[in-house]
Structure 1
Amino acid sequence: MIEPYESAWDGIPGAHPYPRGSRYHDAEIGVHVQPDGTEVRYTKRRLLPPLPAVADGTAPHTVNSGERPDHLGQRYFGDPGQWWQIADANPVLDPRELTDEPGRVIGIPLPGGAVGNGHG
């Protein structure tokens, strides 16, 4: 649960480069210094741990025709932008692979499940 004072930081421009719900919220920010001394900030690569053979912390979902990752984000997390949590819990490179095959069973992270880094 987000404490009221924590969510206030999200509303301050420049306080954090990514909102709390973003998959990059906890990603490390790097700084590249160009030859002229100009600093360029960038988000370092966000690596996921290998998925276990049996995905602990997930519930099965059978994909229906016409579903999209954002639909599932809305259904399971109340926010279509949280589709990335489902993508992180499944072995896909392109999030569209999650729903491109009706009948496919995918894992949906459970609340408090430790899939990926657990944050955005």
Structure 2
Amino acid sequence: MINIPVVEDDEKLNQLICTYLNDNGYSAKGCLNPKEAYDLMYNSTYDLIISDIMMPEIDGYEFAKTVRELNKVIPILFISALDDISSKQKGFRAGIDDYMVKPINMDELVLLNNAKNIQIR
């Protein structure tokens, strides 16, 4: 099973994404901030990270940079309301692999995950 932490501070959206992914054959766990995600990822292995950008204390850019320092290969997908090119560029420079603009289409989210051919380690 593909394990995914979903790092999103909007609790309802976090639950919606996790439920949808879990219903489609993934094992998604919600984290309301990067600190929760660090704790979760310290104790378990994950195959993909889905993260928001605009979060209090630690934003998605900083989170992605920290993850990249520890793991160069795990795919990172940003989901964000920020739709400008400079935000996208900043995300890719931080080490993300893909970017979806909110509101996201859940069917597209599953397609992207399938298209990445995520390999279970």
TM-score of the superposed pair, with normalisation by structure 2:
0.24
TM-score of the superposed pair, with normalisation by structure 1:
0.24
Answer 1 or 2: higher relative contact order, Cα 8 Å, separation at least 6: 1
